[in-house]
Chains A and B, each alone.
Chain A
Amino acid sequence: MTSISMVVNGRSVGGEVEDRTLLVEFIRENLRLTGTHVGCDTSQCGACVVHVDGKAVKACTTLAAQANGCEVTTIEGIAGDELHPMQQAFKDNHGLQCGFCTPGMIMAATDMVNRLGKDLDEKTIRAELEGNICRCTGYHNIVKSIQDGASKM
């Protein structure tokens, strides 16, 4: 067991976890923040993307212990009183259907804007979505959502 503490969505949290505990397990099971999802075992689908110290990472491929002392933001932590512009853009552009990949998509999208700016073309967005898989939307409206959301961030 290892003792960890971190700031998740602005709140200090901590606990004793098995060393093998994945960050996504800590977030979902210990913190009961179930918006972060697990869709694969091989670090490809991106349903688990969260921000650690401001950078997008796959929470299924990170140990909770690796994130000890870090600031973590999950899908539950990006909106204030209003929806985050990227969340609103996914709604406005029908960028989701079943919703399972959506939190990871939104976290990847905000990271994309943080790195590359607000003016994103279709080709860039598609290339940057390499680590996020959606089975419902065919990506068409996800690309539109990210373009729209980026311009409003």
Chain B
Amino acid sequence: MYNTNYHRASSVEDAVSKMGSSDDAKFVSGGQTLIPTMKQRLAAPSDLIDLRHVDSMKGITVDGNQITIGAGVTHAEVHSSKELGAACPSIAALAGHIGDPHVRNMGTIGGSIANNDPAADYPAAMIALNATIITNKREIAADGFFTGMFETALGEDEIITAVSFITPVKAAYSKFPNPASRYAMAGVFVAQTGEGVRVGVTGAGADGVHRHTEMEAALTANWTPEAIANCNVDANELLSDLHGDNNYRANLVKVMAKRAVEMAG
């Protein structure tokens, strides 16, 4: 790892101010992606601004059908939250399959979403739940937030402070993990929301997380696992790598979608 300067932010304002006075700083939350990247010397921020001690970014609130998860909430906290388990078990279950138990104790929902790894789990949930990404500057609809692999709508000194969404009527996430990394090779989050059926696909797409509108239409017409069978998943838009080619991933997207619908009931 190259040298860096570590700062602990006490508030969102403090974090932004520290960012402003640094050359090439990065915000770090759990650090479970950033620190390995720095260890490999593939990232070399001049400064690290630690957001884990910002109280306003913590906590999970369920207010009627409105769910808000602070950006600093760890995967372990999402997974074990009783409120979420009751209001939106699909997202609690999803969090229980990110990384491993030790990683889940550090990694946060805000960090995962801001990083937008094309094989990360949360982005699929965000777009399927039609979530709102709340930053220190604005509120961004998930559809407009994820702009490509590792790319988001976030500005330089913009910090995700929370995500919020309306409790879905039905929802589930099914993931086929990469055998080595255990990131998603294909992960599909299906949700019946107040604004219709939404399907978020991660891990498979050549451009990262995306919605699958044909499946959404099919499931809108007929919310059953069988409805997926006739949907077309275009392999040309999917990744190929040593763990599986795009045809295999196309199959996985359909199978994971089907299983997610089965799980959602």
Q: Which of A63, A130, A131 contacts B6 (CB 8 A)?
A: A63
Cβ contact within 8 Å between A61 and B35: yes
Distance to closest chain A CB from B24 (angstroms): 14
Q: Contact residues of B with A, CB < 8 Å?
A: 1-6, 8, 31-32, 35-36, 38-40, 48, 50, 52, 76, 80, 99-103, 105-106, 181-182
Tell me the dominant secondary structure on chain A's binding face. mixed
Cβ contact within 8 Å between B31 and A63: yes
A131 in contact with B35 given A18-B3, A19-B6, A19-B48 (CB within 8 Å)? no
6 nearest CB pairs, A to B: A131-B100, A19-B6, A130-B100, A65-B6, A55-B105, A20-B1
Q: Contact residues of A with B, CB < 8 Å?
A: 2, 18-20, 22, 41-44, 46, 49, 55-58, 60-63, 65-66, 68, 108, 111-112, 115, 128, 130-132
Cβ contact within 8 Å between B3 and A19: yes
How many pairs, one residue from A and one from B, have CB atoms within 8 Å of each other in the complex? 79
| Contact sample, A vs B, 13 pairs, CB 8 Å cutoff | A18-B3, A20-B4, A41-B40, A42-B36, A43-B32, A44-B100, A49-B102, A57-B102, A57-B106, A61-B35, A61-B106, A63-B31, A65-B6
A65 to B48, CA, bound (A): 11
Contacts of A19 in B (CB 8 A): 3-6, 48
Considering the complex, give the chain A residue whose CB is closest to the CB of B182. Answer: A130
